[in-house]
Amino acid sequence: MTSKEEIVNGMKEAILTYKKEECLELAKQGLAEKIKPLELIQEGLTTGIQELGARFGRGEVALPYLMVGAEVMQKSLEHILENIPKGEYKPKAKMVIGTVKGDIHDLGISIVTAVFQANGIQVFNLGRDVLKEKFIEKAEEEEVDIIGTSALLTGTMFEQKVVIEYLKKQGLRDKYIYLIGGGACPGQDWCDEIGADGWATDVLLGLAATKKALAEKKGIEL
């Protein structure tokens, strides 16, 4: 029998060395040996992606490697979440995310989905080319705390403003935290111009902005 410490450390190392299948097998082994699913997530997956993120922040790894590491984590996270007994996984916040209308890139939001779920945020990923009405419809249906829109193409960035203006027209602006991101996001100036609650151009900055907004606007600490 492999110890819990060996399994969670192995999962962390698999993320740091980009070994998707090895990480998944360790996740399966951990579940088979009755290690608590949330411990596998928090002590194995989350610590692994946090360490990789720290290396990215220090300039030791490039963004594509961070993205690959997140993909490694996502596969194992999905398997663990599917095998958690109903009612045991209790996220502290909920979020709807998608790429705005006219934008067909969704890799970034897939990575955000994996990292955020590992950090206690349940994410409803709407995919790419999402209409403004769909963001609001899903947010209302799932009673989420956050709406996040991504734009990779500069030509679609304006749609982030379209979504928040639609929120205002529906009388729902104050109900939700509204976050923007993606490769086309020019930064704080655009965030201020459209009245968003936060912005980011990569997943770890996004997580930091989300934690800050949740604490300040919803009183939720992750």
Matching fold, domains 4-82 and 93-218: no
- For residue 91, what pLDDT is reported? 87
Task: State residue 85's pLDDT score.
Answer: 73
| Architecture of the CATH domain 93-218 | 3-Layer(aba) Sandwich (3.40)
What SS3 state is found at 192?
Answer: helix
Of 50, 29, 64, 200, residue with least CA distance to 119: 50
Q: What is the pLDDT of residue 119?
A: 83
Q: Give the per-residue pLDDT at 126.
A: 96
To the question of domain 4-82 being in CATH 1.10.1240.10, the answer is: yes
- State residue 205's pLDDT score: 83
Name the pTM for this structure. 0.77
In the chain, domain spans: 4-82, 93-218
Instruction: Tell me if 146 sits within 8 A of 95, measured CB to CB.
Output: yes
In this prediction, residue 141 carries a pLDDT of: 97
Q: Distance (Å, rounded) from C-alpha 111 to C-alpha 98?
A: 12
pLDDT tens by residue, 185-196: 778 999 999 999
Q: What is the structure's pLDDT at 1?
A: 58
For the chain, list residues with pLDDT below 50.
none
